[in-house]
Structure 1
C-alpha cells in the first residue's frame, strides 16, 4: 500500500531545460561556448550539489575555470534562473489531487543551494510536506544512501513508497531498493501511469 509519494523536481515539477538557458546566457555574456560553460560546471557539480563546497566557493572556482569575475557570473546565472524557471502546471494540478486523497507528498532533488533558495522563496516547494535536498543531506541521486535516508525520515518501508523521476539511473537505484517507481517521460503518460498506484 502506497503511503508516501516522492517526486523529483527538475524535469518533473519544474519544466526541463533551465540549465541549457543558463549555459547559453553565461556563454553569451562572456563570449564563451556554452558547452565549455557546461563542462566547467560539471567539474564542480558534485561538490556543490552535495554541500561539500559553499555557493561562494562554487562561484569563485567556476569564475576561475571560465576566466571571468565571479560576482558578475553569479548575477547572470541567478537572473537567468529567475527568468527561465517554469513550473509544470499540469503536474502541480495532479499533485493537488493526490494531496487531497491524503498521501504524503515529498520532494527529493539534486539541487544547488542558490536554486533551492529561489525555489523556496517563491513557494515552489509548498506542495510538499517533506523536502529532501542533496546539498542538505550531503548525498545525491542515484546514491542508494539518499533513498535510504528518505525512507528512514518518512518511517516507511520501500514497498510503501512511490518514486517519480525523469532519470533512468535514479529509477534503477530506487527499484533495486524495492521502491515502486515511475519514469517520468511526459505529463500525459505520467498522469496515466500514476493512476495504477493510487
Structure 2
C-alpha cells in the first residue's frame, strides 16, 4: 500500500525544465563557442567554480557571475545569464504532474540552487515563480545550497510537513541522499516519462496518467 504523501519538492533546472546540458550546448552554438567550453568554465575553471558557488549562496551577484564567466569565455558579459538560459524551457510533463498534484491539495515546492534573480529572474521568465508553488526555496535567499541537509529542512519548514510526508525529485544523484536522511522519498530524474510515471504512482496512485 502506498504511503500518503502530502508534499512534492521539485528541482528547477533539468527537472521542471528541459535538460541543462541541451540548453548549454545551444548556448555554445549561439555564441560561437567550441563545444564543451561553457561547461568547463562552470565546473573546471577555478574562477568559474568559485563565482558560481558564491552566486548560489548569495555571496556574489548575478552581474559578478556575468562578468567572470564572460571573461573566461571571452564574450560580452552583458545580460549573460539571460543569454545562457535562453534555450531552457519548462518541461511539460513534469509541470503538468505538479499541477495535477497541487490541484488535489498536495503542497508543491520548488527547491533550486539559485541562478540569481537580479537583474534577470529565470524562474519568473520561465513562468515558474511564486504563484506557481506553495513554497519557493532558493539557495541564494537561504544562504545554503544543495546538497546541504539544512536546505531540505528549510523546504520542509516552508511546507509545514514532515520528511516522511514528502517526495523530492532531482536530476543529480548527489542531491538525493541528504533528503533521504530526513525521511523524504526521492526520485532520481532521468527522463520525463519515467519521472512522471513515478510521481503519479506515488502521489496519485488511483488516477491514470494524463
Superposition TM-score, scaled by structure 2 size: 0.79
Deviation at 1:29, TM superposition (A): 6.2
CA contact (8 A) 1:182 1:193 kept: yes
Shift in Å, 1:21: 3.2
User: How far did 1:93 drift?
Assistant: 1.6
1:85 paired with 2:85, answer no
Q: Contact 1:6–1:106 (CA<8 Å) still a contact in 2?
A: yes
Provide the aligned C-alpha RMSD in A: 2.6
Q: CA deviation at 1:109?
A: 0.6
Match of 2:206 in 1: none
2:160 corresponds to = 155
Partner SS state of residue 108, structure 1: strand
Seen in structure 2, the aligned counterparts of structure 1 residues 76 and 50 have a Cα distance that, compared at 3 Å, is closer
- 1:52 alignment counterpart: 59
What are the Cα deviations for residues 99-157 of structure 1, in whole angstroms up to 9, with x where unaligned? Answer: 11111111001121148713214422343121111111111111111111111222221
Cα distance in 2, alignment partners of residues 156 and 77 from structure 1: 34
1:61 aligns with 2:68: yes
**CA distance in structure 2 between the aligned counterparts of 1:35 and 1:12, rounded to whole angstroms:** 19
Q: 1:189 to 1:136 in 2, by over 3 A?
A: same
- CA 1:146/1:77 → structure 2, altered by over 3 Å: closer, same or farther? closer
Asked whether the 8 Å contact 1:164–1:183 carries over to 2, the reply is yes
From the superposition, tell whether residues 193 and 67 of structure 1 become closer, same or farther in structure 2 (CA, over 3 Å). closer
- Secondary structure at the residue paired with 1:145? helix
Pairing of 1:1-198 with structure 2 (within 5 A): 1-16=4-19, 17-26=22-31, 28=32, 33-34=37-38, 36-38=40-42, 39-40=44-45, 41-66=48-73, 72-82=76-86, 84-114=87-117, 117-125=121-129, 126-198=131-203
Larger proportion of helix? 1
Aligned position for 2:208: none
Q: Distance in 1 between matches of 2:189 and 2:14?
A: 8
Contiguous gaps of at least 5 residues in structure 1: none
The question of whether the paired residues in 1 share the 8 Å contact of 2:9 and 2:167 is answered with: yes
